[in-house]
Each structure stands twice: as C-alpha cells, then as structure tokens.
Structure 1
C-alpha cells in the first residue's frame, strides 16, 4: 500500500466527498417530499392521480438509475431541454427514491388499524386532524426501518453519477486507477469515503429504531 499516494490523493477525495454528500442530501430530501405526496394520493385513491402515481412507481422501480440519468442528461437535450449535470443527478435520485419512499409511507399508513380512524371520527376529529394526530405519527414510526434502508440505498446509488461526468467519489477513484494504476489505494480511499457517510447513518437509524420500538410507537 502506497501511503504517500494515499496522502496526496486525499484532497481529491475530499472534494468528491462533499459533492457526493450534497447531491445525495438534496436527492433524498426531494425523494421524501415526492414519496410523501405519492403515498397520500395512493392511500386515499384520488381519481386519475392514483393511476398516474401507480404508473410512476412501476416505471421508477423497474428502470435502473443509470438509464434515468442517461435520459435526463443525454436524451432531454434532443428535445431542447438542457440540464446541468448536478441537476440531472438530483432529479434522477428524486425520481428513483420517490417511488421507494412512497411505498414506505403507504405501508405505514395501511398498517394502522381502521378502528383507530373510526374512533377518531367518532370523537369529532376532522379528516386533517385524524391524519395529523393518528395516521402520520404512527406511520412514520412503523416505516422507519424502511426509510432507513431507502436512505442507505440512495446514497450508494450515487456511485453511478460518474456516467454524466460528475467528479463524485467513483469518478475520482476510476480516474486515479486509469492514470496512476494505483488500484488498491484508490479503492481503499473510496471504501473509506463511503464508510464515513454510511456507518454513522446506519448507527443513527439503529438508535432511532430502538427508541421507537422501546416507546411502542405504532403499536
């Protein structure tokens, strides 16, 4: 292991790390928002929108992120729509993640017994109050493990951003391997970089899931 090369390469990985984290953050935030909206449409079976939401989920979950990025970055310009590479990366992550997040939200909603909703209505709660005080808190607690898995999954999916010429972690690793032939060192820094992001998140979600189970939310 060439430690001198590793030390010299750290600044490159730092820049790529910050870019990867920034794109992942906004992509995941957008995926949460889109997923929440889609889950409400599907849970309440809003006419027309329900069918469109279902079609979106099937399209999103059955196509790889690589294909989605190719369409956004290389396909849209043929239609006169040119997007920045970073915008394409975030949009692709939102498009992919929104479908997974929506199913997590919906599974949480549907896990709540109908009797609780009926009791809330009998107490005079409005539909909004039932959603806010009964459905939403419990569904989030129930779906937390699924949310955690989706967040980790989406962060790992950022490894394909290099195909649209973004200097993310994978791009830097591939570039160093191609130029310097220091494969072991480049991959070592790549693994460490992803662990710095994913390991603390995994521990945080594990802690939150234990707290939720201990408190008995969703039961």
Structure 2
C-alpha cells in the first residue's frame, strides 16, 4: 500500500465527496417532498392521480438508477431537452427515491387509526389541520426507520453518477486506477470516503429510532 500516494490524493476525494454530498442532499430533499405528496394522494385515494402515482412508483422501483440516468443524459437531448450533469443526477435520484419514500410514508399514514381523523373532525378541525397536527406527526414517527434506511440507500446509489460525467467519488477512483494503476490505494480511499459519509448518518438514524422508541412513538 502506497501511503504517500494516498496522502497526495486525499484532496481529490474531499472535493468529490463534497460534490456527492451536495447532489445527495438535493436528491434526498426532493425525494422526501415527492414521496410525501404521492403518499398523501394514495392515502386519500385521489381519483386519476392515484393511478398516475401507482404507475410512477412501479416504474421507478423496477428500473435501475443507471437506466434512468442514461435516459435523462443521453435520451432527452434526442428530444431537444438538454440538462446539466448535476441536474440529471438530482432528478434521477429524486425520481428513484420518491417512490421508496412514498411507500415509507404510506405505511406510516396507514398506521394512524381512522378514529383519530373522525375525532379531529368532531372538534372542528379542517382537513389540512388534521393532516398537519394529527396524521403527519404520528405517520412520521412510524416511518422514521424506513426513511432513514432510504436515505442511506440513496447516498450509496450516488456511486453511479460517474456515467453522466460527474467527478464524484467513483469517477475519481476509476480515474486514478486508469492513470496510475493504484487499484488498492484508490479503492481504499473510495471505501473510506463512503464510510466517513455514511457512518455518521447511520449512527444518527439509530439514535433517532431509539429515542422515538423510548418516547413511546411508533407503537
């Protein structure tokens, strides 16, 4: 193992890690919003839109992120729509993550007893107030484990972003291997980078789940 080579190339991985984190942050944020929107449509059985959401979830969950990125980056320009590499990555991650988040939110929403909705209506709360103050707090507490698992899953999926010419962690590792044939060193830095990113998130997720469990939520 060439530790001098590792030391010299740490800054490249730091830059790539920041790019990966930025894209992951936006992708996860949009996937949360998209997933919540889709889950509410399914929960309230909105006509027509419910079927559209169902098709989207099946399409998203049954096609690899790599294929979705190829369509966005190489397919859309054939139709006259050109978007940047970073936009492709964010859209692709949000498209994939939205379906998984929707299923996580849906399980939480379905855990809320119908009697609580009726109780909210009986004391004069509007539908929007019931969603905000009664349904969502309970649904989110139940959905936390699945949501946290999805966040980690989506960050790991960023490893395919190099196919759209993004200088992410995987791109840097492959570039160094191709230039210097330092496979062990490049992969060591790659694995270490993902561990540095994902371990704190995993630990924070475990602590959050434990805190909610001790507080009596999600039962």
Q: Taking structure 2 as the reference length, what is the TM-score of the superposition? A: 0.98
The aligned counterpart of 2:208 is: 208
Query: How many angstroms apart in 1 are the aligned matches of 2:204 and 2:109?
Result: 24
1:108 to partner: Cα distance: 0.3
Kindly provide the CA deviation profile for residues 63-110 of structure 1, in whole angstroms up to 9, marking residues without a partner as x.
Answer: 000000000000000000001000000000000000000111111000
Structure 2, unmatched stretches of 5+, are none
Q: Which residue in the other structure is 1:81 paired with?
A: 81
Counterpart for residue 42 of structure 1: 42
User: 4+ residue runs of structure 1 moved beyond 3 angstroms?
Assistant: none
Q: How many residues align?
A: 219
Tell me which moved more, 194-203 or 127-136. Answer: 127-136
Deviations 1:137-178 (A, max 9, x none): 000000000000000000000000001111100000011111
More divergent stretch after superposition (50-59 vs 127-136): 127-136
State how 1:114-193 maps to structure 2 within 5 Å.
Answer: 114-193=114-193
Gaps of 5+ in 1: none
d(CA) in 1 for partners of 2:26 and 2:13?
20
Decide whether the 8 Å contact of 1:112 with 1:218 is kept in 2: no
1:198 partnered with 2:198 = yes
> C-alpha separation between the residues in 1 aligned to 2:118 and 2:218?
17
Q: What does 1:17-36 correspond to in 2, within 5 Å?
A: 17-36=17-36
Structure 1 residue 196 displacement after superposition: 0.8
Number of the residue aligned with 2:66: 66
With normalisation by structure 1, the TM-score equals 0.98
Instruction: Tell me if structure 2 keeps the 8 A contact 1:35–1:99.
Output: yes
User: In the alignment, which residue of structure 2 is the partner of 1:105?
Assistant: 105
SS of match in other structure, 1:46:
coil
